[in-house]
Structure 1
Amino acid sequence: MPTDTDPTVAEEACFEAGIKFGTLYHQFAGTPVSPDSAESISTAMEESIENQPHCADVTVDVRTDELEAELADSAADYTELTGRFLEVEIVVDYEDCEVVTRMAMEEGYPLMRVESVRGRD
């Protein structure tokens, strides 16, 4: 029988989503990226995180427009991957509870947030 200290299924599902975002961001931050490699890095990130338990879907968009702007005045053909080059959506399905989370730039910071929670609470 649950007590006041037991997390709800929805809270556990949100925790699972947070683990996925922490892994995605910190596993790939600093990876060399260019407009030419953006698609393959997106795919690698998606497939890597989809391996984790309860992960229903991952969509990673490497913002090539931002990459191209970063590289416009650079002698290099690549830069390192940071949150400002990413838009990410992760969907977790945990015990009939679906959590949709997103990461996007907000006021110069890659903000990760819970967009919706549907199902058990």
Structure 2
Amino acid sequence: MSDTADGADPTDPQVACFEAGIKFGSLYHQFAGTPVSPASAPSLAAAMEEAIENQPHCESVTVDVREDALAEAVAEGPAEYTELTGRFFEAEIHIACEGVEVVAGMAMADGYPLMEVRSVRKRA
């Protein structure tokens, strides 16, 4: 790693958290706007999980579709599908990097899909 502006290398937990952020950015922005219906939601969630799990340091990804919100949006719209946004799913990503485990998640908070680091711990 190269030195930062203050002369210190990033810590292992900082590197692991950065990796979690990269995975979440990819998860959200790669799939946002994808056409989704109640029938296709499970296969889309599986595709999201499998795609992100391909990335380095990613141990697991869980995507849970908020079926009630999705069904409501489709019922209110002019078509039998809508486009995927953060209000239709919650996600959790587990990262293992540089001897550190990071769990990051995304859930709705005050109408906004909030991504956060949930835990950081050294691996035994």
Assess same fold via TM > 0.5. yes
Task: Look up the equivalent residue of 1:25 and give its one-letter code.
Answer: Y
For 1:87, the equivalent position in structure 2 comes to 90
TM-score when scaled to structure 1? Answer: 0.94
Identity %: 65
- Looking at structure 1, the residues matched to 44 and 108 of structure 2 have their Cα atoms a distance apart, in angstroms, of 19
For 2:95, what is the secondary structure of its paired residue? strand
TM-score when scaled to structure 2? Answer: 0.91
For 1:29, the equivalent position in structure 2 comes to 32
Q: How many residues end up aligned between the 2 structures?
A: 119
For 2:69, the equivalent position in structure 1 comes to 66
1:72-92 deviation line (CA, Å, top 9, x unaligned): 222310000000001000000
For 2:111, the equivalent position in structure 1 comes to 108
RMSD: 1.5
CA drift at 1:4: 5.1
For 1:72, what is the secondary structure of its paired residue? helix
- Looking at structure 2, the residues matched to 106 and 10 of structure 1 have their Cα atoms a distance apart, in angstroms, of 25
For 1:47, the equivalent position in structure 2 comes to 50
For 1:87, what is the secondary structure of its paired residue? strand
Return 5+ residue gaps in structure 2 as ranges. none
Task: Look up the equivalent residue of 1:114 and give its one-letter code.
Answer: V
